[in-house]
Amino acid sequence: MTEFTGKTAIVTGAAGGIGRATALLLARKGASVVAADVNPAVRDTASMIRDAGGRAEAVVTDVATDAGAEAFVGAAIDRFGGLDVLHANAGITGGLVPRLDEDSATFLEVLRVNLLGPWVAIRTALPHMTRGAAIVCTASVAGLRAGAGPIAYSASKAGVINLVQSTAMALSGRGIRVNGVAPGLIDTPMTALLYDDARAKGREDRIGQLNPTRRGGQPEEIAEAVAWLASDAAGYVNGQVLAVDGGLSAQHPFTPKWSL
């Protein structure tokens, strides 16, 4: 028996990166996992879980649509008979640099995937969740304040932080907790350009230099935080967004030469 034995978890954006790491971890901890992503590589995530002796179903869909959400929630109910954990994690950047001339279509698409997506997932999952269930959304340090991402992306993630707070409040008394994680810079397909560029220049040691832990993070380190927030061990944690960023958001910008 492990902490998620007998439970069913949905992870969106599970084709790679943080979502895959979380799906694998929750499965190792006993959960039956529905892994959803628009990228068919999500099937590999489900295969990895099954090969390791776990239970998993892949759903290839746009998770930021009503039909997509019904597909992955339906898979949890039909295949595994319930729904205990939702990790609304799928996201896009819309580009890696802040642009004041961002066109409306791109801006809207970032909001659709990053903010509407978790909302649609929550709204569709809730009728199937009972007391003890838990929802964890992936926000970002970019949503806490400026300087960690493009404008639409940062605004969408700020929205996710409030979505966590507002839905936790709206679920008052129902025994369903809603929390979020705010990752810092994590080594995933989303940041591959940056990591590849740094590695090609032999400057990998510069990655994460602005946080006091002085390195970038690994997707497994975010997965651990998600699993904890989704577990009964975090039973009194509700409406919170936990920064998992090596300490980046704990400090004001500083001039490195001033540091001791």
Specify the stretch interacting with ligand NAD by CB under 6 A; choose among 8-16, 94-102, 161-169, 172-180: 8-16
Largest CA distance in the chain: 58
Which one of 3, 39, 43, 55 is in contact with ligand NAD (CB under 6 A)? 39
User: Counting contacts by CB under 6 A, is residue 190 touching ligand NAD?
Assistant: yes
Distance set, CA 204 to CA 95, 190, 199, 208 (Å): 21, 16, 5, 9
Which one of 189, 198, 204, 249 is in contact with ligand NAD (CB under 6 A)? 189
Distance CA 34, CA 27 (A): 10
User: Counting contacts by CB under 6 A, is residue 113 touching ligand NAD?
Assistant: yes
Distance CA 1, CA 88 (A): 26
Distance set, CA 240 to CA 36, 101, 164, 178 (Å): 24, 33, 7, 8
User: Counting contacts by CB under 6 A, is residue 210 touching ligand NAD?
Assistant: no
* 108 or 130: CB nearest ligand NAD: 108
Which one of 34, 186, 234, 248 is in contact with ligand NAD (CB under 6 A)? 186
> Least distance from C-beta 201 to ligand NAD, angstroms?
19
For residue 201, the one-letter residue type is K
Q: Which of 195, 186, 169 is nearest to 224 (CA)?
A: 186
Helix (H, G, I), strand (E, B) or coil at 108: helix
- Over the window 59 to 88, marking each residue x when it contacts ligand NAD by CB under 6 A and - when it does not, the resulting string is ---xxx------------------------
Handedness of CA 104, 106, 112, 114 (dihedral sign): negative
Which one of 124, 138, 179, 238 is in contact with ligand NAD (CB under 6 A)? 138
Q: Write the DSSP assignment of 23-88 as a string of letters.
A: HHHHHHTT-EEEEEESSTTHHHHHHHHHHTT--EEEEES-TTSHHHHHHHHHHHHHHHS---EEEE
Specify the stretch interacting with ligand NAD by CB under 6 A; choose among 9-17, 172-180, 198-206, 248-256: 9-17
Query: With contacts defined by CB under 6 A, how many residues of the chain interact with ligand NAD?
Result: 27
195 is an active site residue: no
* 27 or 185: CB nearest ligand NAD: 185
Q: Which residues are catalytic?
A: 153
Which residues are at the interface with ligand NAD (CB under 6 A)?
13, 15-19, 37-39, 62-64, 89-92, 113, 138, 140, 183, 185-186, 188-191, 219
